[in-house]
Structure 1
Amino acid sequence: MARFIFVTGGVVSSLGKGLAGAALASLLQARGYKVRMRKLDPYINVDPGTMNPFEHGECYVTDDGAETDLDLGHYERFTGVPSKQSDNVTTGRIYQTVIRKERRGDYLGATVQVIPHITNAIKEFATADLEDEDFVLVEIGGTVGDIESLPFLEAIRQLGNELGKDAIFMHLTLVPYIAAAGELKTKPTQHSVKELQSIGIQPDILLCRSEHPIPAGQRAKIGQFCNVPEKAVIQALDVRTIYEVPLSYHDEGLDEAVLSAFGIEDAPKPDLSRWLDIRDRVINPEGEVNIAVVGKYIALQDAYKSLTESIVHGGIANRVKVNINWIESEEFEKDDSKLNELLGSAHAILVPGGFGERGAEGKIKAARYARENRIPYFGICYGMQMAVIEGCRHVAGIEGAGTSEFGSSDPNVVGLMTEWTRGNETETRSEDGDLGGTMRLGAYPCHLLEGTKVREVYGEELIQERHRHRYEVNVEYRAPLEEVGYKFSGMSPDGELPEIVEIPDHPWFIGVQFHPELKSKPFDPHPLFSSFVKAAMEQSRLV
């Protein structure tokens, strides 16, 4: 039976519970254990699929088409274990499930209440769809004391009792440094643990975030006041790169403390060689390149979390430091001179995914600048569509080319497909359907044409990549674009959906309909990002 580690947070939000859990999971993996990670989110949205990126950050998509919290991206990047629909649930989905059961009469007329019906649904989710995992780490979103997280905390309290010695609680807190007093303060941690204890949960491990080392005396004080063994009070200091976190936590004894809390005395020694190699590559690069990312959610870079990390992975693969210059695409719509000013020093240009008309013309101008100035260009999803529109307008001579996403263009070279096939089923979507049900989501196959750049990059003919979009490039415009030098180098198996467009007579110009950033890992960088950064390195020698 799997052992459960429940991860909670206190004092303030954004302490990094997801990162801490992912780092711990990677340490357990390094000892030979099989792990799985899950996230319980207290918000009422059914999933993050319809949430504004400025509000919530990135929406992470799994192979099976689930739109999930961005922390699942951390889980995959640190462990390499593919996340599933069953690894993320929200208050909205829990209540939706329970209310549907009540409407069907499943509760036989009983009064449906938070306890036991909601908490039972949460417990069922947390323990369902497991295989032969040794450890399951379950992160509870939000901060202890938030009213919306109470049902989740009650559920894991009950699970702690039911699982007995097969469950522990790890609490992440903040030990702030008060500059005026010149002291670290333990009181916020004490109050946070007291709040947790009032719910009936006694933490077994305290992971204390701090900007300064926590003296042994203060760790002993925290342990004494919080009823936690001193060796289980672990300091979590800031590090140079997030990929140093597993090594830092191991040095502080986190994995030892967790195994001790479970009573495991004979655990294998960890093999941390890959994390040592990654840290060395990040901290000791052999050069650097500048990559401009032209987006529309630049104000909140969490909206591009997986993208940022994938670019870093490309740097790891090539042992270079990547300087990312974030550029708001609307800048180019206001003033064309900004193109040379902001993109002139870039060794490569990347246009990421997005939705809606705002900033689209700026992205089109960025694609044109990269094409005309022979700067490596990487268009992802929306970035591919804008590159296709740009090519139609300025190379193929199709004036007015646009997308039906912005209303009626003449012609629409990008449009809403009414149906597509997945497995043995045909799925249908319409303009007036629920937003959450109108997208092509999850992993789909793509055939790569022989003799193309992407075939060379991937080194194989059939790939599987994750999608998240409503609109497709219209295959009818393949011929006019290929006549002027473009190549539709990746297609869906039926040949109807363009997946990849490239310009062979260009140093590196590739647009993809999918999101390769969702599958990149520091120890297994995505081949497109590795190749893109390598192209930027070549460009840096030309500039």
Structure 2
Amino acid sequence: MLKNRGLRVTILKLDPYLNVDPGTMSPLEHGEVFVTMDGSETDLDLGHYERFLNQDFTILSNVTAGQIYNELLDKERMGSEFLGETVQVVPHLVSAVARRIKKLGESEDADVVIVEVAARSATWRRRRLSRRCVGCETWRDAKTRFQYILTLVPLLKPTNELKTKPTQHSVRALRALGIQPDAILCRLNDPTDSEEEAESLKDKISLHCGVPRDAIIYLPTLGNVYAVPGWLEKQGLAEVIMDRLGFERRDPVVPPVWKALADKPNLANDGEVSIAIVGKYTSLQDSYLSVVEALRHAELNQGIRIDLEWTPSELIEENGADRYLSKAQGIVVPGGFDKRGTEGMIQTAQYAREREIPYLGLCLGLQMMIIEFARHVAGIEEADSTEFDAAASEPVIALMEEQKNVTEIGGTMRLGAYSCVLTPGTRAYEAYAMAKNGSEKHNGTFKINERHRHRFEYNNAYRDRLERLGLLSSGMNPELSLVEIAEISDHPFMLGSQFHPEFRSRPEQPHPLFDLFVRYARQFRPDGTQHQLFASAVSVGS
């Protein structure tokens, strides 16, 4: 809402855990690890920040308690600061956090810094129940102004009664700390049954919390997260914020795509295209949040609806692929680490290849596609990854040279943006040529920059042998001669990327690989009646 009014906005996520970053945490514990262009492993909320504001963020936009403690302890041990002082939470830790906020605002020349203080428990964070507090801070005319917003108005189901006591007690607790909220967002679960009652509660909340009635906004659970800004606009929140921060009121300029996004239902609804996600962490769908959002962007761009089917790869190992994938029009195998469930992913890749089902492999999904091809097309029966077997006799996937002397785990993978040159005449080239964004011409082809998070790579020693059989290296890193994209030449669409394209997909700019994958999936029919000539159906410019 603020950016649509012409303000320069940036966002900071404060996480309370003592991990330095989420990079070493299990996706089942914390959800997806989002990677920024500068190679920072951050909370998945930074992905939402980038998608909503259509701008890139950096390491400065995610701060954990572990980072702050590390910073203070390093300075104390090095003797570069404190010099005999007792190092304490107040003032030293608090001041360190404040410096981080100010550094972010100044580095991006921001009018407004939105600071999200994370929920108190990991369960709340994962399930998106609510946020405890959001503060907006701006440096303007050498003055600092603050805006605090709280949430949570639960519905007592037995009596169908909305309770304002949690909000009242939250405000009371903040007042004890010297913080008076300027606005309150009342989070409601049911958008229909509670609306009328919520309006009637505004007077009560205003009276007990000392907040003007027009600054009390109710926000029900909507069918689509992208509908939230439009809802808050109707409730007048933007004017409240602009007034409190001392900005002149102005009309918003809303990108057209946002209205279309707000009108779209959840991906959980019945759809026209059935896409299966086969992964290791499907029990917590936040583990693949950016993958789902990238599919949502392709869905919007093509004016269709997608039905997602979540399939644990271990079940495919146990029961076979046909039981779970027989109705799929497209298959996505996303990233992951360690051996668990990988044989199920290899079976999935074989199933997609033999039945010509459109397949998109992301990072680990690419590696499983290569291993499957090596085993069942090239006849390399022992083909494997040294991630799963350090003594593999046929390591078609191997540890990168630069990773061989790495002993620490956190923040040491190949992270962030690296360049890739695309091969003309390939599906990868076709995808970026259709999109005409996120790439530039390079000696007659496209040069792209995409985000990585991995230690293992397609072993160049096997490239020539597999390429002769139809496994094309359609995207190469020019500096290190590493394969960034591979695809199968005689398959309608079977492509994998070593990078994570989902991290760069936006509502305004669907990622080219996801967009083209969905176009091919639309043409596939599990009963064999798919349209003839996939290539002509999705030719460049169609």
TM-score by length of 1: 0.87
Deviation at 1:272, TM superposition (A): 5.1
**Contact 1:119–1:154 (Cα < 8 Å) also in 2:** no
Instruction: Report the 3-state secondary structure (helix = DSSP H, G, I; strand = E; otherwise coil) of the residue aligned with 1:236.
Output: strand
Deviation at 1:154, TM superposition (A): 13
Superposed, which structure 2 residues align to 1:70-85 within 5 Å? 70-85=44-59
Superposed, which structure 2 residues align to 1:396-475 within 5 Å? 396-407=378-389, 408-419=391-402, 429-430=404-405, 433-459=407-433, 461-475=446-460
Provide the residue aligned with 1:485 in structure 2: 470
How many residues are paired up? 498
Provide the residue aligned with 2:181 in structure 1: 203
Distance in 2, matches of 1:165 and 1:229, equals 24
1:293-352 alpha-carbon deviations (Å, 9 max, x no partner): 00010111111111111111111111111111000000111122xx11210100001100
**Contact 1:281–1:319 (Cα < 8 Å) also in 2:** no
Q: What letter is aligned with 1:174?
A: L
Change (3 A) 1:373 1:226: same
**Contact 2:42–2:62 (Cα < 8 Å) also in 1:** yes
Q: What letter is aligned with 1:122?
A: V
Instruction: Report the 3-state secondary structure (helix = DSSP H, G, I; strand = E; otherwise coil) of the residue aligned with 1:327.
Output: strand
Query: Quick check: 1:47 aligned with 2:37?
Result: no
Out of 274, 277, 288, the position equivalent to 1:304 is 288
Provide the residue aligned with 1:23 in structure 2: none
Superposed, which structure 2 residues align to 1:488-503 within 5 Å? 488-494=473-479, 496-503=481-488
Superposed, which structure 2 residues align to 1:181-192 within 5 Å? 181-192=159-170
Change (3 A) 1:229 1:272: farther
**Contact 1:364–1:389 (Cα < 8 Å) also in 2:** yes
Provide the residue aligned with 1:232 in structure 2: 215
Which 10-residue stretch deviates more, 208-217 or 240-249? 208-217
**Contact 2:316–2:324 (Cα < 8 Å) also in 1:** no
Query: Quick check: 1:109 aligned with 2:92?
Result: no
Instruction: Report the 3-state secondary structure (helix = DSSP H, G, I; strand = E; otherwise coil) of the residue aligned with 2:352.
Output: helix
TM-score by length of 2: 0.87
Distance in 2, matches of 1:96 and 1:215, equals 44
Q: What letter is aligned with 2:387?
A: E
Q: What letter is aligned with 2:214?
A: K
Distance in 1, matches of 2:456 and 2:364, equals 9
Distance in 2, matches of 1:91 and 1:310, equals 30
Instruction: Report the 3-state secondary structure (helix = DSSP H, G, I; strand = E; otherwise coil) of the residue aligned with 1:345.
Output: coil
Provide the residue aligned with 2:496 in structure 1: 511
Instruction: Report the 3-state secondary structure (helix = DSSP H, G, I; strand = E; otherwise coil) of the residue aligned with 1:298.
Output: coil
Which 10-residue stretch deviates more, 193-202 or 390-399? 193-202
Deviation at 1:165, TM superposition (A): 6.3
> Which consecutive residues of structure 1, in runs of 5 or more, have no partner in the other structure?
1-26, 147-152, 420-427
Q: What letter is aligned with 1:511?
A: G
Instruction: Report the 3-state secondary structure (helix = DSSP H, G, I; strand = E; otherwise coil) of the residue aligned with 2:2.
Output: helix
Q: What letter is aligned with 1:297?
A: Y
Distance in 2, matches of 1:359 and 1:316, equals 32
**Contact 1:76–1:83 (Cα < 8 Å) also in 2:** yes
Provide the residue aligned with 1:241 in structure 2: 224
Superposed, which structure 2 residues align to 1:53-452 within 5 Å? 53-105=27-79, 106-129=81-104, 130-143=107-120, 166-210=144-188, 211=190, 212-213=194-195, 214-271=197-254, 273-280=256-263, 288-336=272-320, 339-407=321-389, 408-419=391-402, 429-430=404-405, 433-452=407-426
Q: What letter is aligned with 1:329?
A: S
**Contact 1:447–1:490 (Cα < 8 Å) also in 2:** yes
Q: What letter is aligned with 2:108?
A: E
Q: What letter is aligned with 1:450?
A: P
> Which consecutive residues of structure 2, in runs of 5 or more, have no partner in the other structure?
124-131, 434-438, 440-445, 532-542
Moved over 6 A (4+): 153-157, 159-165, 283-287
Percent of residue pairs identical: 45
Distance in 2, matches of 1:263 and 1:219, equals 24
Instruction: Report the 3-state secondary structure (helix = DSSP H, G, I; strand = E; otherwise coil) of the residue aligned with 1:511.
Output: strand
Which 10-residue stretch deviates more, 105-114 or 214-223? 214-223
